Every structure is written in C-alpha cells, then in structure tokens.
Amino acid sequence: MTLARQNTASSREALVKEVAVCIATKKYAPGLRNTLHAWSAKHAVLAFVETQGGAIGVGEAWCDGGAPEVVAELIAKDLRSIVVGQPVWAIEQFHARALATNLMSAKGGILYAAASAIDIAMWDAMARLAGMPLYKLLGGFADSVPLYASGGMYRDGHALEALGKEMADAVARGFGGVKIKVGGAPLRQDIARVSAVREAIGLETGLMVDAMFSPSVPEAIRLGHALRDFNLHFLEAPTARADLHGWAEIRKAVGIPIAGPELEAGLHVFRNALELRAVDFMQADACVCGGITEIRKIAGLAQAFHRLTTLHCSGSAISLAANAHAAAALQNCESVEMHLLHQTLFERLWPAGYRIADGRLHLPDAAGLGIDLRPDDPELQRLA
C-alpha cells in the first residue's frame, strides 16, 4: 500500500462512526447525607464515541441535582450530530461548535457537562488509536498523581470514633490526605468531627474540609476561625457559588487556604475567581467544566496566576480516570480527589492497573483511559 493510501485509510479509521449514551447507577442504604442532601442513588451519564477503525472511547457527564436522562438526551439529540462523521482528533472544533449552541439556547452548565462526556470520550478514543495511555498523549508530566480520600459524610448513628477510623483507614490504604464535610451540622458538632479526624490521622497528614457552598459569609468566617487550630490544607466551597467576592472576604478573614469553584464551567468564571483572589487552589472537574480540553485551559490560567490546581471527582470510575489522566499531564496539579462513597464501576479500575500507594494514584500503561467498557455491558442502561 502506498503512503497516500495508508494515510487515507488512517484518516478514515479516525472518523467518528457513532455516539452511544448510557447511564450507570449505584444505590445506597438510607441514612447517608452530605452538607446539602441525602441520597438514595448516584448516577453517571456516560458517552461512548466509536470510530470507523473500531476504537471506542468513553467519557462522563456530571448529572447530580436532577434526572440523568436530561443530560443524556442533550448528548444524544443536540451534540451527537456535531461529532458523528468528524475526525476524533478534531476536539477543538467540537468544542467550538458545541459551545456556540449556548448563545441562543442558554443551556449553561448542562451543556458544558454534556460536552465533557464527549470530549473525554474523544480523547480516550484518540489515545486508543495511538496505542498510548492518555496521560502520555496529553504530555506525560508524571505517571501517577497525588490522591486524597473524600468522605466523612454525615451518617445516622455514626460516632466520632467511627469517623476517625474511616479516615485513618484511608491513610493506611495509601491515600495522601483526607477530606470531610462541614457546614451541615451545628458548629460545635463540626468542630468535634474535625478534631476526631485530626487526632486519628495525625498532624502530618493533609486534612481538608468541604462546606459545599452552604454557609453564609459570616457563618463561614466563624467556621474558619473555629477550625484554624487543626492545620487544614484547604477549606472548599466556603459560601454561595455565585458570591466570589464573599469567597475573597472569607479567604482574607480566616487565613485558611480556599479551594474551588469545582462545579463551575466557563473560563470567565475561573478567571474571575483568580482576579478576585478568591482561591488558593483552583479546583475544577473534567466531567463538569467541558472535559479534559477545558481542564488544560483552566490549569494554564491558574498557572499564570501562580496558583496550583486540584481536581474534583465525585462520579464513576470514568470520572476518576479522566481527571487523573488530565492531572498527570499538568505541571501545577497538586491533588486529585477520590470519593470513598461514590464508586460506581470502580471494580473496573483495579484489574485495569490503577493502584493506590504512597499517597498517589498510579496510572496503568494501557491505551486510552485503560478501562474496557462498552455501551452494551450489563452494568449499563443504554438510552441511545
């Protein structure tokens, strides 16, 4: 075969043949809640991108706070037509066309979340075609990422000793730090919870708290002052999402590093947070902000302001894998979150070669995200 024919065949193999959309669900026993609400189930909306050459990439869209079918429908009916027939490597073109639909539709965050799933899936498929782990295709800064355990939910009948043991067990398992919820109980109770965890994990291990946008500015300042003696690595989401001026006020008043705004999308929001000096750690999520493509831009923006990034992750195994591969290609990512409760499809991670040790998540040397998952797998509900 001539070189020209080889190139033509290769180009044809990279064309997107189909996009499938599925939902994965994990159900919970009653009695669990975070700062804002309780759960009966956690859903993950997954998009699969298949190329003419048979490569299948998978990505995830954030869908909390509503019916997952709404996000799935947006992928299937609005975004699928933008990507089918296009080269899988044309990710910037996909972003430009997908986000341009926001000008008149005003779909906002849900559009970014839906685009995230396709973006991640395109990167995964492209890396599979190249026969490379995704983090290497993205630049390969490291083959592992600093990892902390996220848990410490409010549980009915969960004593302080049990909370401390939960976090200490995570450290013993190999996590480099832990994060618990605050702001969902009286101040005295939250102080006792943080104290119990600090005593259980020791002074050297990183301890973070997440207020989930719940306190008012005065409440957050009181909370921050009450927790200053516990040497917190950061306070996440200290007040209302939209009140970045309030975030800056809290940061200045309490003297604790602030992380966020993890559930936002749009570079202008992250730029505002940096310009207002509202955060010390720029926090984003590849399943929320528009995908790995946007994570790279957000991290570059943070680096220009001399800020480190930390990646939020509260979804399925695909969410953790995508954020971890993105983080491993960044110079300025200081941590990735792994949730101890929300672990949909996590049984797929460990046989694939993901490994927790020495405070880090070690990535497999397999093509793409390294997770073999298809839209017809029995764990998934296929919608389109």
Residue with tokens 């019916």: 67
User: Is residue 307 a part of any domain in this protein?
Assistant: yes
- Identify whether residues 184 and 86 lie together within a single domain: no
pLDDT of residue 185: 92
Tokens representing residue 243 in the block: 């009140």
Q: What is the rounded average pLDDT of the residues 282-304? A: 98
User: Is residue 201 a part of any domain in this protein?
Assistant: yes
- Identify whether residues 76 and 147 lie together within a single domain: no
Mean predicted lDDT score pLDDT of the chain: 94
Query: Does residue 312 carry a catalytic annotation?
Result: yes
pLDDT of residue 8: 47
User: Is residue 269 a part of any domain in this protein?
Assistant: yes
Q: Is 3 exposed, middle or buried (0-12, 13-18, 19+ CB in 10 A)?
A: exposed
pLDDT above 80: residue 98: yes
- Identify whether residues 224 and 205 lie together within a single domain: yes
Q: How confident is the model at residue 31 (pLDDT cuts 50, 70, 90)?
A: low
Q: How confident is the model at residue 33 (pLDDT cuts 50, 70, 90)?
A: low
pLDDT of residue 35: 67
Q: How confident is the model at residue 11 (pLDDT cuts 50, 70, 90)?
A: confident
CA separation, residue 149 to residues 155, 200, 295, 310 (Å): 17, 14, 21, 13
Q: What is the rounded average pLDDT of the residues 232-245? A: 98
Q: How confident is the model at residue 65 (pLDDT cuts 50, 70, 90)?
A: confident
- Identify whether residues 100 and 154 lie together within a single domain: no
- Identify whether residues 91 and 200 lie together within a single domain: no
CATH (domain of 126): 3.30.390.10
Return the minimum-mean-pLDDT range out of 10-14, 28-32, 150-154. 28-32
Contact 270, 302 (CB under 8 A): yes
Residue 338 phi/psi, 5° resolution? -130, 125
User: Is residue 271 a part of any domain in this protein?
Assistant: yes
Return the minimum-mean-pLDDT range out of 24-28, 97-101, 156-160, 268-272. 156-160
pLDDT of residue 340: 94
Q: What is the pLDDT of residues 321-362, one digit of tens each?
A: 999 999 999 999 999 999 999 899 999 999 999 999 999 999
- Identify whether residues 126 and 142 lie together within a single domain: no
User: Is residue 368 a part of any domain in this protein?
Assistant: no
pLDDT of residue 39: 73
User: Is residue 330 a part of any domain in this protein?
Assistant: yes
Tokens representing residue 41 in the block: 């189930």
- Write down the catalytic residue from 312, 325, 339, 362: 312
Q: What is the rounded average pLDDT of the residues 225-247? A: 97
Contact 34, 180 (CB under 8 A): no
Q: What is the rounded average pLDDT of the residues 138-148? A: 97
- Identify whether residues 99 and 140 lie together within a single domain: no
Q: How confident is the model at residue 29 (pLDDT cuts 50, 70, 90)?
A: confident
The whole-angstrom separation of Cα 185 and Cα 19 is 44
User: Is residue 367 a part of any domain in this protein?
Assistant: no
20: left (phi over 0), alpha (psi -120 to 50) or beta: beta
pLDDT of residue 28: 82
Q: What is the pLDDT of residues 179-218, one digit of tens each?
A: 999 999 999 999 999 999 999 999 999 999 999 999 999 9
- Write down the catalytic residue from 95, 136, 179, 181: 181
| CA torsion through residues 254, 257, 262, 267, sign | positive
Strand order in the sheet with 41-51: 56-61, 41-51, 16-27, 381-382
- Identify whether residues 128 and 143 lie together within a single domain: no
- Identify whether residues 241 and 205 lie together within a single domain: yes
Contact 154, 190 (CB under 8 A): no
- Identify whether residues 208 and 291 lie together within a single domain: yes
How many independent structural domains does the chain possess?
Answer: 2
Tokens representing residue 252 in the block: 């200045």
User: For residue 52, what are the domain limits?
Assistant: 3-132+373-382
- Higher per-residue pLDDT: 226 or 42: 226
The whole-angstrom separation of Cα 299 and Cα 327 is 9
pLDDT above 90: residue 319: yes
Q: What is the rounded average pLDDT of the residues 159-182? A: 97
CATH (domain of 240): 3.20.20.120
Provide the residue type at 295 as one letter: I
- Identify whether residues 283 and 296 lie together within a single domain: yes
pLDDT of residue 40: 78
pLDDT above 90: residue 320: yes
- Identify whether residues 205 and 324 lie together within a single domain: yes
Q: How confident is the model at residue 3 (pLDDT cuts 50, 70, 90)?
A: very low
The whole-angstrom separation of Cα 35 and Cα 176 is 23
Torsion angle of the four alpha carbons 32, 33, 37, 38, in this order, in degrees rounded to the nearest 10: 0
Query: Does residue 245 carry a catalytic annotation?
Result: no
Angle between helices 109-130 and 317-328 (to 10 degrees): 70
pLDDT above 50: residue 91: yes
User: Is residue 219 a part of any domain in this protein?
Assistant: yes
Q: How confident is the model at residue 5 (pLDDT cuts 50, 70, 90)?
A: very low
pLDDT of residue 358: 97
Peptide bond into 375 cis (omega under 30): no
